[in-house]
């Protein structure tokens, strides 16, 4: 059986959720939110970073607007204990994707998810499409529906 790429797995997962993903490939890569915004031609605040933290009860996904940083203390207060950023191997094991290409959904198992309220201020936001050189667009309300994310204030 051939191994599927992160991009292929993400498109399949999106289809399973009823989302028609039109991921765009950026040959120069979009490893940072600023690079993604420049490649797409959007505001930095429209970039949805999928950041995995390890909390007292396991992994938590923090969907964060590109211009914001995760406040680990605030996030810890929301999840009931100390949190830290996941390392590359933890992120891959939990989400099935490498850091820089982690999409906001389509992981092997459900991950509790919080979403930065700044992302909800836009009509369209952009997330990673399974690899660091792919992005896709989605409406924030649809993203809320498919992820079950809880809007919260955890950024600085």
The predicted-structure confidence for 101-113, as pLDDT tens digits, reads as follows 999 999 999 999 9
Which of 133, 104, 116 lies closest to 35 in space, CA to CA?
Answer: 133
Contact 25, 47 (CB under 8 A): no
Range of the domain at 45: 6-152
Residues 3-48 have pLDDT tens digits of: 668 888 899 999 998 998 888 888 776 778 888 898 889 999 999 9
Q: Which residue shows structure tokens 């991009």?
A: 7
Determine the pLDDT at residue 3.
61
Please give the Cα distance from 35 to 40 (Å, whole number). Answer: 9
Determine the pLDDT at residue 138.
96
For 30, the 3-state DSSP assignment is coil
Please give the Cα distance from 70 to 49 (Å, whole number). Answer: 10
Number of folded domains that form the chain: 1
The pTM (predicted TM-score) of the whole model is 0.93
Residue 86 domain-assigned? yes
Mean local confidence (pLDDT), 58-83? 97
Percent of the chain residues topping a pLDDT of 90: 72
Residue 132 domain-assigned? yes
1 pLDDT higher than 60:
no
Q: What are the Cα distances from residue 44, in Å, to 10, 53, 75, 95? A: 23, 22, 22, 24
Tokens of 45: 């605040």
CATH number at residue 136: 3.90.960.10
Residue 1 domain-assigned? no
Determine the pLDDT at residue 26.
81
| DSSP category for residue 155 | B
For 47, the 3-state DSSP assignment is strand
Contact 156, 71 (CB under 8 A): yes
């Amino acid at each position: 059986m051939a191994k599927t790429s992160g991009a292929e797995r993400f498109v399949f997962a999106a289809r399973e959720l009823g989302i028609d993903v039109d991921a765009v490939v950026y040959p120069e890569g979009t490893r940072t939110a600023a690079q993604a915004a420049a490649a797409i031609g959007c505001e930095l605040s429209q970039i949805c970073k999928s950041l995995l933290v390890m909390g007292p009860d396991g992994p938590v996904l923090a969907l964060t607007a590109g211009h914001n940083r995760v406040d680990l203390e605030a996030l810890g207060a929301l999840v009931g204990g100390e949190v830290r950023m996941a390392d590359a191997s933890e992120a891959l094991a939990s989400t099935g994707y490498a850091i820089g290409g982690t999409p906001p959904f389509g992981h092997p198992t459900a991950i509790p998810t919080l979403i930065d309220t700044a992302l909800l201020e836009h009509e369209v936001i952009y997330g990673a499409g399974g690899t660091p050189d792919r992005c896709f667009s989605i409406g924030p309300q649809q993203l809320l529906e498919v992820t079950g994310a809880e809007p919260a204030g955890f950024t600085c």
